Structure 1
Amino acid sequence: MSVSLPSVFAKPRVFAPVVTPFTAGLDVDAPRFVAFCQWLVGQGAGLALFGTNSEANSLSLAERHALLDHVLEAGIDPAQMLPGTGACALPDAIALTRHATEAGCAGALMLPPFFYKGVSDDGLFAYYSDVIQAVGSDQLRVLLYHIPQFTGVPITHALIERLIAVYPHTVVGIKDSSGDWANTAAMLEKFPGFAVFPASEALLGKALPLGAAGCISATANIQPRAIASLLNAVTLEERAEWEGKVATVRLAVQAQPMIPALKSIVAHFAKDSSWTRVRAPLTPMNPAQSGALLQQLQALDFSMPSMASLAAVAA
């Protein structure tokens, strides 16, 4: 089955589910968010705005709409963006997806509706179909988001096959956050030309030779340049070197609560403690946890270069 991929997927890419900063009153901090997006793009990453690690499901519809507008107004190319637009309520998913499409984003990364469990593939097909039909744009490109350990609603291979058959120019890829390598490998084999993104850079050594489109990874927030270097490696030796570097950092961070850990790292390198804020029910890392993680990263010679733009916003 052939699909119609955006040009941004012409070669493997890394996309970061951009962590979201908050003010002391826990409002979204748009200036810090935009500055961080600019830093990520400058480091070679695309922007998977409003992903799991963006605390997207702790953001209102209006906040997600406004944040995308702020990023666009800052002059960041929408072709570098894959906003998360999935929602439990169909009208919310339609509104978010329409907004992203009209803005010219490369695609919309769509969770399934995740409150009701045990729903059928027929129901999920209807959900995605209703969004596609309501948006009604030839420019819409949908990437499915498979993260059953959070949603309880898996994206089956049968559903993918059905969606591609009916919407070959619209449903063009998937982020596989299942952590199940066998599932990722099977999708890469079964759906050639479909943009399959593993959720961890640690899997790229196995996934790239099978045709992976890159990765959409939590830790792309902190090591975008290293992951981009891995994806752009020319020789096998160079690729192996970068694989080892990015995987080691990934393993260190994923051993902690991911979102608070990422924010603690950004706060440290941006010299801006406001980045540690999270919305309930999440809680920030305590100083001992954060200090131990930063010591571990320091031992790996980890750094986040060129963070001056974020420090300037803090000032």
Structure 2
Amino acid sequence: MKDALFGGVNAAVLTAMREDFSPDLDRMAAHAKWLLANGCNGLGILGTTGEANSFSTAERKAILEGLIARGVPASTMMPGAGVSSITETVELTQHARAQGCRGVLLLPPFYYKNPSDDGIFAFFDEVAKRVGGGIALYLYNFPQQSAVPFSLSVIGRLLDAHPGVFKGVKDSSGDYANMKAMIDAFASRGFEVYSGSDEFLQKILAEGGAGCITAASNGNSHWGGIVYAKRTGAEADAAQAMLTATRKAATSVALIPGLREIIARSTGDAGWRTIRPPHLPLSKADADKAWAAWEAAGALPLPGLMKQAAE
């Protein structure tokens, strides 16, 4: 897809924390800059991998402002702004717009289960009206976590009601047929479809999708950048094979603490292991398992990361 606002590889960025569980913005900003220098076109901050729902509205605002103050370009960031409250979703979205972000990622209202399509439409219709434009709204389809999927019908109604406002979707369902259905139905209207699964990057680009927004990009973005740049050919195929292998490695243990372990060992910075409850750091056995899986994939050492850490 041409002219996608966040076209390419976007990391679902880990949120660094101090021992008291407060955000460590210096550490996080350094990681974000490394990602942008090593294959990432953009950054999905405060999503699932960034533990957004473990942070308050005030903390989310402070994280975004702190990253910008430390030199992470606002234009590269797509903050997660979707919560179950219309008013806070609007507040976070307007805040992101005021900081210069081009788009936000919106979970559906996820507490009440089995809402009707009419209810989901009404929620996002109200959000769009209150936000008032000036920033792209991206839907976050992750039914395994939210238990509230986005149907094609709801997406179509939102595009009809708010042309140019609902700009795309991150589909973390793992169901490529669902991603392809969204592309087939809406790509001609400029709707950007991003895979939440690394193994689909090459395929979704070939079939009219915009790219990916993925957790494993915290460690495999170097190869994602090759796939996005080359698309086809031996080098792209080999890089896609690495994305698939590292995705499998990342999911061999609990995903978020597992990625923290990989970054901690790669940089020699144990602070990356700090994670807010209810998440917990990996056990020694699982930490060793995660590292062994990334080694077996051939990904370690992560390109440029030890150099970045030393600096």
Q: TM-score if structure 2 supplies the norm length?
A: 0.94
* Equivalent pair of 2:202/2:228 in contact (CA under 8 Å): no
* 1:27-49, Cα deviation, whole Å (9 max, x unpaired): 11111111111111111311101
Structure 1 residue 143, shift from structure 2 partner? 0.6
Q: Which residue of 1 aligns with 2:256?
A: 259
Q: Which residue of 1 aligns with 2:206?
A: 209
Distance 2:177 2:14 in 1: 29
Pair 1:271 & 2:259 matched:
no
Q: Which residue of 1 aligns with 2:122?
A: 126
Describe the shift of the 1:311–1:288 C-alpha distance in structure 2 as closer, same or farther (beyond 3 A): farther
User: Quick one: which amino acid aligns to residue 15 of structure 2?
Assistant: T
User: Quick one: which amino acid aligns to residue 64 of structure 1?
Assistant: R
User: Quick one: which amino acid aligns to residue 293 of structure 1?
Assistant: A
Candidates 49, 54, 59, aligned match of 1:58: 54
Show structure 2 runs of 5+ residues with no match. none
Distance 2:234 2:29 in 1: 36
Describe the shift of the 1:247–1:164 C-alpha distance in structure 2 as closer, same or farther (beyond 3 A): same
* Equivalent pair of 1:8/1:80 in contact (CA under 8 Å): no
Residue 216 of structure 1: SS of its match in structure 2?
Answer: strand
C-alpha RMSD of matched pairs (Å): 1.7
Distance 2:232 2:92 in 1: 41
Residue 72 of structure 1: SS of its match in structure 2?
Answer: helix
Structure 1 residue 270, shift from structure 2 partner? 1.3
* Equivalent pair of 2:104/2:137 in contact (CA under 8 Å): yes
Q: Which residue of 1 aligns with 2:166?
A: 171
Structure 1 residue 86, shift from structure 2 partner? 0.1
Structure 1 residue 7, shift from structure 2 partner? 5.6
Q: Which residue of 1 aligns with 2:94?
A: 98
Residue 10 of structure 2: SS of its match in structure 1?
Answer: strand
Q: Which residue of 2 aligns with 1:25?
A: 20
Q: Which residue of 1 aligns with 2:219?
A: 222
Structure 1 residue 8, shift from structure 2 partner? 3.2
Q: Provide the aligned length of Structure 1 versus Structure 2.
A: 306
* Equivalent pair of 2:83/2:107 in contact (CA under 8 Å): yes
Structure 1 residue 206, shift from structure 2 partner? 2.5
* 1:29-85, Cα deviation, whole Å (9 max, x unpaired): 111111111111111311101110101111111111001001111222222111110
Distance 2:137 2:197 in 1: 20
Distance 2:310 2:128 in 1: 41
Distance 1:305 1:31 in 2: 21
* Equivalent pair of 2:206/2:231 in contact (CA under 8 Å): no
Pair 1:110 & 2:109 matched:
no
Residue 232 of structure 1: SS of its match in structure 2?
Answer: helix
Structure 1 residue 163, shift from structure 2 partner? 0.5
Distance 2:186 2:61 in 1: 32
* Higher relative contact order, structure no. (Cα contacts within 8 Å, ≥ 6 residues apart): 1
Structure 1 residue 310, shift from structure 2 partner? 4.0
* 1:234-289, Cα deviation, whole Å (9 max, x unpaired): 54322211111111111111121100100000101111111111111111111121
Q: Which residue of 2 aligns with 1:162?
A: 157
Describe the shift of the 1:59–1:69 C-alpha distance in structure 2 as closer, same or farther (beyond 3 A): same
* 1:194-230, Cα deviation, whole Å (9 max, x unpaired): 1000111201232222111000011011111111111
Structure 1 residue 150, shift from structure 2 partner? 0.6
Distance 1:305 1:276 in 2: 20
Structure 1 residue 301, shift from structure 2 partner? 2.6
User: Quick one: which amino acid aligns to residue 111 of structure 2?
Assistant: F
Show structure 1 runs of 5+ residues with no match. none
Distance 1:217 1:235 in 2: 21
User: Quick one: which amino acid aligns to residue 125 of structure 2?
Assistant: S
Distance 1:146 1:225 in 2: 26
Q: Which residue of 1 aligns with 2:303?
A: 305
Q: How does 1:145-156 map to 2 (within 5 A)?
A: 145-156=140-151
* Equivalent pair of 1:141/1:172 in contact (CA under 8 Å): yes
Pair 1:42 & 2:37 matched:
yes
Q: TM-score if structure 1 supplies the norm length?
A: 0.92
Distance 1:16 1:49 in 2: 8
Structure 1 residue 136, shift from structure 2 partner? 1.2
Pair 1:286 & 2:283 matched:
yes
